[in-house]
Structure 1
Amino acid sequence: MDTGSNEPKKRYQRYLEAVTGPFDDKRRWRQYKARVRALPENYRAAVEALERYLMHFGPGDGAEAASMFEDIADLFEHAAADGTPIREIFGENPVEFVEAFLQNYSSGSYVRRERERFADAVARAAGETPGDDERAVR
């Protein structure tokens, strides 16, 4: 599509990004997926299971999610290169591993944000300042 000048093209790109999301996040996602495809089969299967879990409980922000998935790719690339067994990466309880991993990402998961919102609403209803409970629901 020939737009004739740079300004209309930029406007067109802004419109597309508003509809589809930032192009940079999509580029990062494709690079991450390529890195995962290059892993040995058992590591790839573990990453795909982790990815599926994180799609439900991980950060909703595109940039932070992209960083999180890039960190996963780094972790598993190094583990594959070192020959680290899958169980040694996750430990005995994979859910504890993933929950500890998620703590490194500030916006956190949808579930965590909703728990905090709920606790704050109850605190306000009780006449307290939200956050007084030191986030006991975490």
Structure 2
Amino acid sequence: MGIQDIIEGKKQWRAHVARVKALPPDYQIVYKEMQKYLFKVGPISLPDGPLLPGVVDFFEEGVAAGKGVVELIGTDVAAFCDDLVKDSPTYADVYQASISAEPGTHEK
């Protein structure tokens, strides 16, 4: 990864954060909670994958439709996040596989 890739990544992240800040306050609160949860238990591809920008797209559509954030995702943020990543390998899966492996073997 070169310096140009790092600069481009920062530009994309700043644009993403600006989109989040443009959401209504209740959407911002829920997004931040989702982000915290997903960074703890989410998929391995979360940092450079389409999940977080997709959530912002979904929220922007909800705002445009005049819906509240609870109407979109329900009252259980963790359950909503779990449904989003149910088919993706997570850091927890990798950890579980590493402790379940036979001693002396190395998984790649």
- Counterparts of 2:78 and 2:40 in 1: how far apart (Å)? 13
- Counterparts of 1:93 and 1:117 in 2: how far apart (Å)? 30
CA-CA distance at 1:85 after TM superposition? 2.0
Say if 2:16 is the partner of 1:32.
yes
Residues 88-99 of structure 1 correspond to what in structure 2 (within 5 A)?
88-99=71-82
What's the C-alpha RMSD, in Å, of the aligned pairs? 2.6
Q: Is the 8 Å Cα contact of residues 34 and 78 (structure 2) preserved in structure 1?
A: no
| Deviation by residue 1:30-59 (Cα, 9 ceiling, x = unmatched) | 111010000111111111111121222223
Q: Which runs of 5+ in 1 are unaligned?
A: 1-12, 126-138
Q: Which runs of 5+ in 2 are unaligned?
A: 104-108
Residues 36-55 of structure 1 correspond to what in structure 2 (within 5 A)?
36-55=20-39
Residues 1-138 of structure 1 correspond to what in structure 2 (within 5 A)?
14=2, 16=3, 22-61=6-45, 62-64=47-49, 67-103=50-86, 106=88, 108-119=89-100, 121=101, 124=102
What is the TM-score normalised by the length of structure 2?
0.75
- Counterparts of 2:93 and 2:67 in 1: how far apart (Å)? 31
CA-CA distance at 1:60 after TM superposition? 4.1
CA-CA distance at 1:75 after TM superposition? 0.9
| Larger relative contact order (Cα-Cα within 8 Å, sequence gap ≥ 6) | 2
Flag the structure with larger Rg: 1
Cα 1:95/1:25, change in 2 over 3 Å: same
Aligned length: 103
